Structure 1
Amino acid sequence: MDFPVIKASGYILVHTPNILKEGGSTQTTTRAKNPDDEYLKKLDDYLRSFEEVVSYAPNQAYIGNILPDELKNIEQPWYEEQNFVEGNRYGDFGEIMPEDEFYVLLKHVDVFDLVKLSSDFISEIEPKVAEHSILKEMEIELGEGEEKSELEALLDKHAEPLYLGETLIGCVKKAHESDVNLNAHTILENLVAKASAVLSLKNMAFKNDLDLADIDYVLECSEEACGDINQRGGGNFAKAIAEMAGCVNANGSDVRSFCAAPAHAVVNAAALVKAGIYDNVVVVAGGSVAKLGMNGKDHIKKEMPVLEDTLGGFAVLISKNDGASPVIRTDIIGRHKVGTGSSPQAVISSLVTDPLDENDLGIKDIDKYSVEMQNPEVTKPAGAGDVPESNYKMIAALGVKRGDLERKELMNFVKEHGMPGFAPTQGHIPSGVPFIGPAAKMMRDGQIEKAMIIGKGSLFLGRMTNLFDGVSFVIEKNSGVKKQESSVSDTEIKNMIAGAMRQMADNLLGETE
């Protein structure tokens, strides 16, 4: 069977301590309830520097400088200085961007002149923009900027502030006087999702020497929604991102299913390519402002830095089989059906063992499983435990119950077929897809043959259903066999068919005469 392939991927992080302070949902809610809350007073003392973020081992795994399995050999806590790794802000898959550069990108992707930057900031940041491999090619025009008094006047009109430390360097205006869907905070959230998605897409193209004009379709799968009072989540993020990234020949649409959306989007993209509707489909998502500092109070209680200080983003290109890139096995798709139920056993069965059973595969035939890959140093202080490890234990326990594993093999299965969590807790970002890039690299290097990507989502959060959600798919090392391309052009084929039909008509007429 001729399967579509993972042609390329890109992963980015953006260090945004000031957006965390001003826009993260925990901080915003706390400030509204009690502006003098002790947490807010202590927050500055527990924020990391950009250098600390770059040297943090899980972040280096996310952008591709180390493999996730290498985290097993690094002492924890990873956030302590003695356990830092030799970091580079640029990785095989993408980059870690500082907040000042991201403000430039935020301004660039704003097409309604809602982002205002100070003239002093613009003059200071322009040299950095000129040195950045991607930003310098984007023809960014920042203008002359605003005076501080003008920015302060906009804040009085409910604009969202943009800070660097204690310095006000800009703001985001509301887009409508009374529409809550277009207030300044919502516009900030949506522009952040758009800008970080553009950065992911541009990094994917840059790292893989791709021409984004070759992209046919874009599927965006973040957890944000853009619209106005008449259509609150009407969209379309995908086309807005495609426009800014330079995908001039692409159409696009948005996919939503909470954390499970990226896995749904990849399956949809694979189906579009396999059906021959499009040759090159990109799945992309930017980061979530609301998730910044989500567990910050628990981190500070444990006297540790607030680790949810980075936005995440990713982009994956699904294309026709090239005989080399990892294939997406469209015949091995797990799905959480409406009638599946929400017990751990039912969920794992529907997403893992059912699709494997249908294809005569056992759980040990999958070399690596990528589940909800949240960094455990973020989740454990908040009482959520080690999420990836819990998922791997459930898969192994089901294997023991089915007789695929012996009980004594359980923890060894977790170690060999799982990996440490390394993704930021950005909702949709950790849900399976962070391992697509490393899996492709490991397949190229002959380290693994098959990986299963599992996306899960909590649909009940929207108060429309109590149902759970999930979808899974298998990526596999390419066998090197691909569908042969015809050396004859479409026009030549059409002419040959037309000539044959004319000949048949002439023969029939001759017989009639």
Structure 2
Amino acid sequence: MNSVIRGTGYVLVHTPDMVLQNGTTQTTERVVNPGSEYLKNLPRHIRSYEEAVAYWPNQVYIGNGHPEELRNVPFPYFETPKAGAERYGRYGELMPQDEFLLLVQAGDVFDVVKLEAAFVTATRKRFTADPIITADIAARVSDGVALSEIQDYVDNEDAEPLFNGGKLVGCVKRAHDIDVNLSSHVMHENLMSKASSVLALLYAVRNSGIDKAEIEYVIDCAEESCGDMNQRGGGNFAKAAAEIAGLGNASGADVRGFCAAPAHALITAASLVKAGAYKTVAVTAGGCTAKLGMNGKDHVKKGCPVLEDCLGGFAVIISANDGVSPEINLDIIGRHTVGTGSSPQAVITSLVAEPLERGGFKIPDIDKFSPEMQNADITKPAGAGDVPMANYKMIGALAVKRGELERKDLAEFTEKHGLVGWAPTQGHIPSGVPAIGFACDDILAGKLKRIMIIGKGSLFLGRMTDLFDGVSFIIQPNSGKEESDTVSEEQVRALLAKAMRDFARNLMAEETAE
């Protein structure tokens, strides 16, 4: 039987100071053009926490709205705050930066994160009041140190400063004197990814209703990679996050594949569970500080707020079939192979048309497609257009070419089978997976029968190959009852054996009667 999705977690962390200090667009600008008008104007385009919470796409991401509701929100979305917006949502929360820094420190096991004592005192009560933060995690937060000690680390030991509201409140120390892979910059990136992954895991476990001890394996699929000079990407984020989240019965490993990694990881998790290697597997990913304010120059130039001001995280719990939860159909897997080619038509054919054809379906048989779900509020000012819509047009055009859709129905197809993008541009986060929470809810409610999750990735970014990448899979209603009504091979063999025995007995009875 197919593996099922038991629960999901989706979290955001508002990190305005990290936009200024850690996003690569800004760090590069400070090196190349430190006196630029962009850097001077940027602080005026940074949103407050309240503005980030009230932002429609953020509310949708954490489950306080449905993607379909975005169709009725005037564009650009940032001009229409969501009434009654809340920090906590169905799937997770939007955590403020100050509390997140305490979570980062709680997850630090090598004493490289230092926070000012006064900052810890001012923030601790709110942090521990968060209902998802366990007592064990809260107890890991230290009392902090003097600001002078932090300043000394920053000034003399190349520590990465941590700011809140423009004020120095902590730092991340380097973990080695000469190893660039353990520099303060890399440690900062990795610790932020780890902490946001922990937050997502906590929500996914809560939302699935399972005990933490049930999780036997964790797969991390974020874009960061940890290691030292002898193994730069050795890992293991998965086990590191599982430790802090309290998943004491879990092992784990990392899966990397740029933006396609979450889809790869979910297929891997579903396969491990279906094979019986593990009963319950968590797939998780934290955020990417490098991508904060990635399109900031275009946003500032066009008078928009800097919308890439949040780290994103998600987690999905996969388990053995319970007869109720939505399934991942492992019989219909799309693959962009080495020989596929990188043209848009070749990519969509390999990820959508070919697997559906093997499964006996046509493109319009899928209720919804979830490819790259980037928020157009972010991508349009940067000149990238509406990314989800571009994907839906390609899928629809392919359906027309294959004779599965009338040309006159193409415009309707994009709305009927598409979703409006709402995901933050955190690299791996938008690639298909933001729709899983809504998909499972809608399938359980009988609103959807099939949704295809499409993960796509740019392998050429690593300069190892110029190939494209991608995989896809289908989520569908649970077929446990249907499968239980069918006859297994063992049952067939047993029935045949019984029939042979009955035949032999009848034959003997007839011979005796004669």
Alignment of 1:68 with 2:58, yes or no, is no
- Offset at residue 212 of structure 1 (A): 1.4
Distance in 2 (alpha carbons) for counterparts of 1:62 and 1:39: 29
Aligned mates of 1:331, 1:276 — CA distance in 2: 17
Distance 1:467 1:405 in 2: 30
Give the number of equivalent residue pairs: 482
Q: For the residues of structure 2 that align with 1:144 and 1:328, how far apart are their CA atoms?
A: 45
CA distance in 2, matches of 1:86, 1:55: 8
For residues 113 and 37 of structure 1, the distance between their equivalents in structure 2, rounded to whole angstroms, comes to: 36
TM-superposed deviation, 1:362: 0.7
Compute the TM-score of the two structures, normalised by the length of structure 2: 0.92
The aligned counterpart of 1:26 is 25
* Corresponding residue of 1:37: 36
Q: Does the 8 Å contact 2:99/2:124 carry over to 1?
A: no
Displacement after TM superposition at 1:397 (Å): 0.4
Q: Distance in 1 between matches of 2:376 and 2:384?
A: 9
Deviation per CA, 1:206-226, whole angstroms, max 9, x where unpaired? Answer: 233321111011110011010
Q: CA deviation at 1:480?
A: 4.7
Deviations 1:439-490 (A, max 9, x none): 0011111111100000000000000000000000000011352777xxxxxx
Aligned residue runs from structure 1 range 162-173, under 5 A? 162-173=162-173
Give the match's secondary structure for 1:75: coil
CA contact (8 A) 1:12 1:199 kept: yes
Residues in 1 aligned to 2:42 and 2:145: alpha-carbon distance in whole angstroms? 29
Q: Find the counterpart in structure 2 of residue 118 from structure 1.
A: 116
Name the counterpart of 2:308: 308
Separation in 2, partners of 1:361, 1:161 = 54
Distance 2:286 2:248 in 1: 20
1:107 matched to 2:110? The reply is no
SS in 2 for 1:79: helix
Aligned to 1:12: 11
Q: Secondary structure at the match of 2:185?
A: helix
Please give the residue correspondences for 1:236-255 in structure 2 after superposition, counting only pairs within 5 Å. Answer: 236-255=236-255
- TM-superposed deviation, 1:142: 2.6
Q: Per-residue deviation at 1:83?
A: 4.3
Partner of 1:348: 348
Structural mapping, 1:118-267, within 5 Å? 118-137=116-135, 138-156=137-155, 157-267=157-267
Note if contact 2:51-2:81 (Cα within 8 Å) is conserved in structure 1: no
1:360, distance to aligned residue in structure 2 (A): 1.0
Q: 2:255 corresponds to which letter in structure 1? A: V
- Distance in structure 2 (CA, Å) of the matches to 1:70 and 1:83: 13
The Cα shift of 1:197 comes to 0.2
Contact 1:375/1:421 (<8 A) preserved: yes
- Alpha-carbon distance in 1 for matches of 2:346, 2:143: 59
CA distance in 1, matches of 2:118, 2:20: 22
How far apart, in 2, do the equivalents of 1:192 and 1:129 lie?
Answer: 16
Contact 1:56 1:85 in 2 (8 A): no
79, 85, 88: which one aligns with 1:87: 85
Give 2:497's aligned residue: none
1:339-362 CA-partner distances (Å, limit 9, x unpaired): 000001100000000000011101
Aligned partners of 1:11 and 1:315 also within 8 Å: yes
Partner residue, 2:445: 445
* Counterpart Cα distance in 2 of 1:381 and 1:349: 29
SS at match of 2:93: strand
1:321 touches 1:483 (CA, 8 Å); kept in 2? no
How far residue 395 of structure 1 moved from its aligned partner, in angstroms, is 0.1
Q: 2:294, 2:422 → 1: CA distance?
A: 17
2:498 match:
none
Give the whole-Å Cα distance in 1 for the aligned partners of 2:139 and 2:33: 40
Cross-structure match for 1:429: 429
Unaligned runs of 5+ in 1: 485-513
Distance in 2 separating the partners of 1:209 and 1:321: 15
- Residue 258 of structure 2 contacts residue 428 of structure 2 at CA under 8 Å; is this kept in 1? yes
**Runs of 4+ that moved beyond 6 A:** none
Aligned equivalents of 1:19 and 1:170: distance in 2? 13
Deviation sequence 1:301-349 (CA, Å, 0-9, x none): 0101000000000000111111111011000000000000000110000
> 1 CA distance for matches of 2:37 and 2:207?
44
Amino acid at match of 2:176: H
Q: Deviations over 1:134-190 (max 9, x none)?
A: 225324333331112111110012111111112111000011111110100100000
Partner of 2:77: helix, strand, or coil?
Answer: coil
Contact persistence 1:9–1:437 (CA under 8 A): yes
Cα distance in 2 for residues equivalent to 1:250 and 1:214: 8
TM-score of the aligned structures, taking structure 1 as reference length: 0.92
Percent of aligned positions with the same letter in both sequences? 58
Residue type of the partner of 1:121? F
- Quick check: 1:226–1:236 contact (8 Å CA) kept in 2? yes
For the 8 Å contact 1:76–1:83, the answer to whether it is kept is no
**Which structure 2 segments of 5+ residues have no match?**
485-514
- 1:413, 1:477 → 2: CA distance? 22
CA distance in 1, matches of 2:386, 2:270: 31
Partner of 2:53: 54
| Equivalent residues of 1:221, 1:262 under 8 A apart | yes
- Structure 1 stretch displaced more, 328-337 or 240-249: 240-249
Q: 1:269, CA displacement in angstroms?
A: 0.5
| 2:343 aligned with 1:339 | no
Separation in 1 of the partners of 2:72 and 2:480? 34
Separation in 1 of the partners of 2:370 and 2:456?
Answer: 11
Aligned residue identity for 1:161: P
